[in-house]
Amino acid sequence: MAGNYTKDEKRFLKRLGLAIKDRRVEQGLSQEKLAELTGLHRTYVGSVERGERNISALNIKSLADALECQASNFFRATE
55-64 pLDDT per residue, tens: 999 999 999 9
Higher-scoring residue by pLDDT: 37, 77: 37
User: In the prediction, which pLDDT does 35 show?
Assistant: 98
Q: Are 43 and 54 in contact (CB under 8 A)?
A: no
Cβ neighbors of 62 (< 8 A, separation 6 or more) are 38, 39, 40
- Cβ neighbours for 55, distance < 8 A, ≥ 6 positions apart: 13, 16, 48
Q: Which domains does the chain have, with CATH numbers?
A: 7-76 (1.10.260.40)
Length of the chain: 79
pLDDT at residue 2 in the model: 57
pLDDT tens, position by position, 3-17: 689 999 999 999 999
Mean pLDDT score, 12-41 = 97
> Could you tell me what percent of the chain has a pLDDT over 70?
96
CA distances from 51 to 36, 56 (A): 20, 13
